[in-house]
Amino acid sequence: MADNATDFAAQLPQLEAVARRAGEIAMGFFRPGEKTSAAVSYKDGGSPVTEADMAVDRFLQEAAMALFPDAGWLSEETADNKERLLRPRLLVVDPIDGTQAFLRGDRRWAVSIALIDQGRPKLGVIHAPALEWTFAAAAGHGAALNGAPIRVATLAVLAGARLEAPRGLAARFAGSEYKFAVQDRTPSLALRVADVASGRNDLTIASADSKDWDIAAADVILTEAGGVLSELEGLPLRYNRPQLRRDMLVAAPQSIFPESLALARAVSKGVI
């Protein structure tokens, strides 16, 4: 059992290994540029879930829980058990973040795993096997992509920043005075936040209704890379709450976060 930040960091390689094995399971169903070989069904509300999502979920529940047997469990593909609220630690998992991309053979999907302790993520792994990318971070120990340290972009001002956002929001942000370089939107929210952590993009805005499993691992990776992920109140996100739904999210380097947050608030109020 991990009892401090150093112990958590020591377990990060094991969590990465679990994520890679989960990725191998998913890749068994993935067909680049083609429809997946996995059987597909639909949840209430119409979102798809595949045979691959469920296979990865079963594997992660066994393998990740073996690393942290005292933790609760929260996954997109497992019915939520409120018993998790009684535990100080929680594993938060999205077996395949970007299922729509996975379905159609788009490589931009990922396995996302986070360990929460006392409401904040301490470990995070985002493994995108089709891209051969593995983002990982332990609180207080920095963030890495494929083992190499990563940092957010160094920006003094928001003007001209590379922005990822849903089409409707992107159009509204693009209409601002900041002359954003709007980027093609990556289907996986975890990877969109990781794009900011690695400096590939400068700012990611997510519309309301994402869930904790979409962002928990990305949160610690971005934080350790020198960035901030928050809702519109601007405070660090808290996890292991009864409510899983998130408001509009802003992910940015610390240097441009206050400006980014103010702009997101203006957009949310219809000022822009």
pLDDT single digits (tens) 130-147: 999 999 999 999 999 999
Side chain identity, residue 145: L
Q: Determine the angle formed by the axes of helices 12-27 and 51-67, rounding to 10 degrees.
A: 160
Q: What is the pLDDT of residue 1?
A: 45
Instruction: Flag whether pLDDT at 4 surpasses 60.
Output: no
DSSP E strands: which ranges in the chain? 40-42, 48-50, 72-75, 89-97, 110-117, 120-128, 133-138, 143-145, 148-149, 162-164, 181-182, 203-206, 227-230, 249-253
Average pLDDT over residues 62-87: 97
Looking at the predicted structure, is the pLDDT value of residue 254 above 70? yes
CB 85 within 8 A of CB 131: no
How far is 104 from 111, CA to CA, in rounded Å? 17
Q: What does the pLDDT read at residue 58?
A: 98
- Using 50, 70 and 90 to split pLDDT, how confident is the model at 6? low
Contact (Cβ atoms closer than 8 angstroms) between residue 121 and residue 220: yes
Q: How far apart are CA 153 and CA 13, in angstroms?
A: 26
**The token pair that represents 138 in the structure block:** 């332990």
Token pair of 245 as six digits: 């739904």
Q: What are the two backbone dihedrals, phi and then psi, of residue 136, each rounded to the nearest 5 degrees?
A: -150, 150
**pLDDT reading at 271 higher than 90:** no
Provide the β-strand partners of residue 110. 97
Task: Return the exposure string of 31-66: e unless at least 16 CB atoms fall within 10 Å of the residue's CB, then b.
Answer: eeeeebebeeeeeeeeeebbebbbbbbebbbebbbe
d(CA 95, CA 103): 14
Q: Residue 49 in contact with residue 41, Cβ under 8 Å?
A: yes
> Which distant-in-sequence residues (6+ apart) come within 8 Å of 173 by Cβ?
163, 165, 180, 182, 205, 263, 267, 272
Reported as a pLDDT band with limits 50, 70 and 90, residue 176 is: confident
- Alpha-carbon span 3 to 236, nearest angstrom: 22
Angle value at C-alpha 95, between 94 and 98, nearest 5 degrees: 75
88: tokens are 């100080």
pLDDT in tens, 88-142: 999 999 999 999 999 999 999 999 999 999 999 999 999 999 999 999 999 999 9
Phi-psi label, residue 81: left if phi above 0, alpha if psi -120 to 50, beta otherwise: beta
Q: What is the pLDDT of residue 5?
A: 56
Tell me the average pLDDT of the chain. Answer: 95
Q: What is the pLDDT of residue 108?
A: 98
Distance between CA 267 and CA 194 in Å, rounded?
Answer: 23
**Cα–Cα distance measured from residue 172 to residue 73, given in angstroms and rounded to the nearest whole number:** 37
